[in-house]
Structure 1
């Protein structure tokens, strides 16, 4: 007699607990419940098998399942057998964050631009209409939000390691009480594990500008090269007991950028502007000739300004590595740990090709998860994790203009040329070391305890957690000063509207400390075979 599995409750994927739950109802082809059945689920990768008997209404619950592919076998006194496969969620693209944006109700934030370290480097997404910083991103049950409460990401804005992701899920709304910390969506991922067989791959993805079209503003097509390569390998250390998995991914990118600037025309530099003849201040003229190139394109309507266009390369190397070790003490006890490291840098020309600018990112992640099954319906899970993010923005480096490092053009003592903002001109961000720069050091230490208990028609889950946050920020705003001018004529005659500059003796690091304590209880109460009531209560406190 063939049996069918009717999943009245879809497979539940809650990465916060560090394990998965499979629940459903066993029915015959005519829809009647089979109460004398037994379900066996086997992990195809490592052979781990769990069995459970169906309840009087044909329902079943199997907890503490690691992410992966499983074979399900149902047997009954009256006959046997049918099997289904529980497969991983599909992943597409080289950045794991791209998967979330494909989910219904999820959209990218259109206002995000690269290099904005103050808002984090990860892909900003709105989930169910919420703000991007209302979301919580989790890896192996540990929150990996950064110092801006944004999603994880590197200096290039990607989240490498897609080959190391076993499972990926997005909860957009109506999630249970066990999830908290943020009021938006929950983005969860889990790291792949090794198996009883050695499996691995070596890959490279290559892209260049050969088939790209020329940008409208390009005088010629700028070169572009991207090499994305890596290797992953997993297998047993001790068969059926201990497994290891590792993944490395490297990215090397050189992206051509075309910059279109508005600069003063030769006539304006000589004092001949559309509003009449003026006397150009000699200090301003020296500054102009040092840092503002002459137009190499057409003059604009008044003739006071013209277009200067140049192309430069944005160079980005990035390296990502992760490893995971799993150990089965017994069928009731499992332990696993994950370590991840990612470092990336970006270097590119500034707005007027006077210097190179850049920003860096470095991420480290560690988690330890222990699960113990007292009985098939009584599970305890403990998780400990550390998430550390270091980011720096506003870096400057020498390039083709040696005057960018000449302090004789400086305004603030000991600094190089100040920045200049003029209405109608491309802004100049100053000489070397003159840009605003920020240094972020974020460390989050987390521990969680979760207990699951299935009794009669109730599936209870309760637990507590604590997170200690250390957030150190050093922000230096306009160390070299920034002059603002209301018009080109005011600039040429040296009549600034304002000067903004950091006072050196007041620049100090800011350290923020916060502790988040949380507890919850929830109950999935199966009132009827086709009716389940989800109850939950959660409390969080931040100091």
Structure 2
């Protein structure tokens, strides 16, 4: 990164921070009554006397048992009260009124985002007398909400063993949740995975929030920006079905996480978890080699937490009831072993061009011995075959009585191939065979590396009671994550572990929250949050581009100073082929998201109403991942050059089946906005029946690329006469109208409605809508899916090139591989319903049996609009019959299969593609490769 780009990066960070704080301040002024966040709950109820008459003006006080939170209110003319904006925890509630005994409920447990109801009946008497009940005695069957939820408590988090210590693993405790992470040892950082299906919903449709702020990676919706230390989490709630209108944005489950806060006394903890290869047995690969040592495998996870009051003796907060802090710090130090397994590679002799180990001592040779139509081999049964011996051309064929042929081949003189200087340079990408190591009788390499991974997290939270009814919270988390991967990450694929990736991924989350009890029946909370993760990828141990490097190119872009990636196909001696990737690095990514939420709670008679608005301003700033150095493909079955019959020999001499190259690495700045106003009414119609009604209007703004570098392919505008071709290397020509800069739609209004009835039988229905809900969801389903799209970014290919210096000459094709998204979005939506039966059991247990259903509509999918059309007529193969290399060889020379069956027309064209010929001339939309269409 240059000095100028560093200054620009710092300037953008300062501007972004200033914009966030300015917007936070202005919105706080706009909504002076801050509303209840999604991760806080409330306690409501009515206060009556023995006759059932309302007690007006009774004082209701609720205090957290940790001593850091006290709220006071009074009952209205209906005897009703509500205290909202309460973080999950254990509370003591007292009610006092003139002429009545004091009522005290101790140890009342309020879960994250819970709507709890405590109705109080006062007894006539002196206020000095107290009627006391415990929290267990006020436990009840849920009659205030139809949400289907499960709370993971702090005690569960502290005591349950987690393999990998990722708190998200605990969502598996919720009924209806199925893990699809594929991780037994859970990861954090960018490798973390939150692919959990909730009641059958798609994994990317879930929403994860931390202290009321967004915590999703908005590119994939498959990981989180920060992973708080389990020791720092108070508890979290998993809402799996049919939640209220205050929850939106996504259409499946919602997870609300609340971090710990400090109390009136100091508390802390320390921890250390470790693993070491000393405790392990050898792996089977290590056991196969008596001299091998166990690969280093070390994991250390250690840290501490501390929390308490912020005070200055005799000067500030001397009563320890005003300002509190909680701080957590965690480190992870790991060394994880990786192995390639046994990979077949060329022998040392073959690396010098000598293929005597794969060829006969002299004379022509046969690669296959096909059967004639009677099932008898054409050649004598004892004929030696040399399937991977490189050849200069074909020799005479042996023909059976029914016309079936066995083709012979002429070897190189002395079985010695003369390597091109480019081929010799490419040897730097292929490791040498391990001495004495073979796989299936051929030389092989076994690579085992242990790569470092470090992670550190700081979490600080400060809670300040402005008054008994106003509370301000700040929470900041920063994750520092750095690791190395054994190969180029998210690249073209590689068989080896020579080119490692330095992977740096810091994550940030900040939340500011203001709770206010304005009156006994009016409460509010305002939440502003900022979250982002960053990814920086660089290559380690990548062989540099030598000078001179006499290979032609399609674009004179300097090739990034790297050797081209290579891919070798077929050949049993190389295990069917191998590849070596040189990556697309350096590469970076960032996804800052600013969210603001204001939620007001108002009690009117038997109605508890919530109304507010949620706003998100999201970005995804990243480069595309182009191979500007190009990718060389070698295929021993390619009959168009023709191949030598050995893909590694093709690499040495320069018989290239395909060379692809991208013209530039571009940076894209994707933007979108979400605005969602909502209204929720929990109407307590009777003491045992509550009706939940909700309405949420989801306004999803246009997904756009800030500088209009994302181009969308519109298939209805395509005409065959406008097929793209190469224009002297300067860019494509073709039908310009088929490409539209930046897809978009104006604000699309989606209405979410929910109605629910609740006593012990709860029928309910809610419809949730959400943006970007597709395969590879999040922003990747919108303008991000158009990154690298032509005509701004070009990916050209040349097929069947004989000689490296001839790359860029004749035979150049331009099969554009493009993406296409609808110009007017049809947002997917999900309907959810469930019926529950709850029963209070002995010892204060509550049992629940649920029937849960969901239905998705307009769920997005991907379809290739330019697939080669199958043909049924003229197909010479029976069901399940394989296509052999002998068939491909015979097809190219005689237009028939190895058994003599003639193949003509479209069937011959399709078979040629199956044998390795370029498929693009046979596609319906000529001049294009795959056209990936997102559609409902």
Q: Deviations over 1:485-523 (max 9, x none)?
A: 23371342233222222213xx22111121211100011
Residue pair 2:238, 2:256 contacting (<8 A) in 1 also: yes
Distance (Å, rounded) in 1 between the aligned partners of 2:477 and 2:187 = 23
Q: Which residue of 2 aligns with 1:139?
A: 210
Question: Are the equivalent residues in 2 in contact too, given 1:112–1:124 (CA < 8 A)?
Answer: no
Partner of 1:97: 168
Asked if 1:293 is matched to 2:423, the reply is no
C-alpha displacement at 1:417, in angstroms?
Answer: 1.9
Q: For residue 16 of structure 1, report the CA deviation from its aligned partner.
A: 4.0
Change (3 A) 1:379 1:88: farther
> In the aligned structure 2, how far is the partner of 1:281 from the partner of 1:54?
95
Q: In structure 2, what is the equivalent of residue 368 of structure 1? A: 512
CA offsets 1:421-473 (integer angstroms, 9 cap, x no match): 1222332113xxx4466421111111111101122221110101221112211
Q: Is the Cα contact below 8 Å between 1:287 and 1:409 reproduced in 2?
A: no
Q: Does 1:69 align with 2:115?
A: no
Structure with the larger RCO, 1 or 2 (CA within 8 Å, 6+ apart): 2
Greater alpha carbon shift after TM alignment, 84-93 vs 339-348 = 84-93
2: distance between equivalents of 1:323 and 1:103? 29
Q: What TM-score comes out, normalization by structure 1 length?
A: 0.84
Mapped partners of 2:528, 2:617: distance in 1: 12
Gap change, CA 1:276 and 1:497, over 3 Å in 2 = closer
Preserved contact between residue 354 and residue 404 of structure 1 (Cα < 8 Å): no
The alpha carbon displacement at 1:316 in A equals 0.4
Change (3 A) 1:179 1:407: farther
Alpha-carbon distance in 2 for matches of 1:115, 1:352:
25
Q: Report the counterpart of residue 657 of structure 2 in structure 1.
A: 497
Distance apart, 1:418 and its partner CA: 1.5
Verify the 8 A CA contact 2:600 2:611 in the aligned structure 1.
yes
2:304/2:328 contact within 8 Å kept? yes
Distance in structure 2 (CA, Å) of the matches to 1:117 and 1:229: 14
Name whichever of 136-145 and 58-67 sits farther off.
Answer: 58-67
CA separation in 2, counterparts of 1:459 and 1:245?
33
Please give the alpha-carbon distance, in whole angstroms, between the structure 2 residues aligned to 1:521 and 1:514.
24
Q: Which has the larger radius of gyration?
A: 2
Q: Does 1:178 align with 2:246?
A: yes
Matched, 1:317 2:338: no
Partner of 1:225: 298
Distance 1:201 1:42, change over 3 A: same
Q: Report the equivalent of 2:227.
A: 159
**Are the equivalent residues in 1 in contact too, given 2:204–2:221 (CA < 8 A)?**
yes
The runs of 5 or more residues in structure 2 that have no matched partner are 1-34, 94-103, 106-119, 125-129, 140-152, 311-316, 360-385, 391-411, 488-494, 570-575, 637-644, 702-936
Q: Report 1:46-445 matches (<5 A).
A: 46=67, 48-50=69-71, 61-72=82-93, 73-74=104-105, 76-77=122-123, 80-84=131-135, 88=154, 90-91=156-157, 92=160, 93=162, 94-110=165-181, 121-150=192-221, 152-153=223-224, 159-219=227-287, 220=292, 221-237=294-310, 238=317, 239-266=320-347, 269=351, 270-271=354-355, 272=358, 274-275=386-387, 277-278=389-390, 279=412, 280-283=417-420, 284=423, 287-288=426-427, 291-296=430-435, 299-301=438-440, 303=441, 305-350=442-487, 351-393=495-537, 395-398=538-541, 403=543, 406=546, 413-414=558-559, 415-423=561-569, 424-430=576-582, 434-435=583-584, 438-445=587-594
How far apart, in 2, do the equivalents of 1:420 and 1:113 lie? 33
Q: Distance in 2 between matches of 1:144 and 1:217?
A: 40
| Secondary structure at 2:578 match in 1 | coil
TM-score w.r.t. the length of structure 2 is 0.50
- Does structure 2 conserve the Cα–Cα contact (< 8 Å) formed by 1:257 and 1:312? yes
Contact in 2 for aligned 1:194/1:243 (Cα 8 Å): yes
Aligned counterpart in structure 1 of residue 681 of structure 2, from 517, 520, 523: 523
**Closer/same/farther in 2, CA of residues 404 and 291 from structure 1, 3 Å limit:** farther
Identify the residue that residue 540 of structure 1 maps to in structure 2: 698
Aligned partner of residue 618 in structure 2, secondary structure:
strand
Q: CA deviation at 1:295?
A: 4.6
Contact preservation (8 Å) 1:138, 1:144: yes
Return the alpha-carbon distance in structure 1 between the equivalents of residues 528 and 235 of structure 2: 20
* Alpha-carbon distance, 1:207 to partner: 1.5
1:307/1:34 CA distance change after superposition, 3 Å = farther
SS at 1:210 equivalent: helix
Shift of 1:375: 1.7
The structure where helix makes up a greater share of residues is: 2
SS at match of 2:242: coil
Q: Deviations over 1:139-169 (max 9, x none)?
A: 1111111132425447xxx824222212211
Q: 1:326 & 1:116 partners in 2: Cα distance?
A: 30
User: What is the aligned counterpart of 2:62 among 16, 41, 45?
Assistant: 41
Query: Is this contact kept in 2: 1:468–1:516, CA < 8 A?
Result: yes
Deviates more, 1:114-123 or 1:334-343: 114-123
Partner of 1:5: none
The separation in 1 between residues aligned to 2:444 and 2:299, in whole angstroms, is 30
- Contact conserved, 2:678 with 2:696, CA < 8 A, in 1? yes
Structure 2 CA distance for partners of 1:339 and 1:118, relative to 1, 3 Å: closer
Comparing 531-540 with 199-208, which one deviates more in the overlay?
199-208
Counterparts of 1:315 and 1:497, CA distance in 2: 38
Deviations 1:281-326 (A, max 9, x none): 513366337623215575444x5x4432121112001110111111
CA 1:224–1:23 in 2, change beyond 3 Å: closer, same or farther?
A: farther
- Distance change >3 Å, CA 289–CA 120, structure 1 → 2: closer
**Displacement, 1:337?**
0.8
CA RMSD of aligned residues (A): 3.6
Kept in 1: contact 2:522–2:600 (CA 8 A): yes
Is the 8 Å Cα contact of residues 458 and 479 (structure 2) preserved in structure 1? yes
CA distance in 2: counterparts of 1:498 and 1:107, whole angstroms: 43
User: How far apart are the structure 2 equivalents of 1:297 and 1:186?
Assistant: 56
Match of 1:473 in 2: 622
Partner of 1:10: none
Matches of 1:354 and 1:21 in 2, distance apart? Answer: 57
Secondary structure at 2:580 match in 1: coil
Q: Kindly tell me the number of residue pairs found equivalent between the two proteins.
A: 513
Structure 1 pair 15–222 and aligned structure 2 pair: CA distance change class (3 A): farther
2:707 equivalent in structure 1: none
Q: Contact 1:96–1:162 at 8 Å: present in 2 too?
A: yes
Contact 1:490 1:496 in 2 (8 A): no
**Secondary structure of 2:204 counterpart:** helix
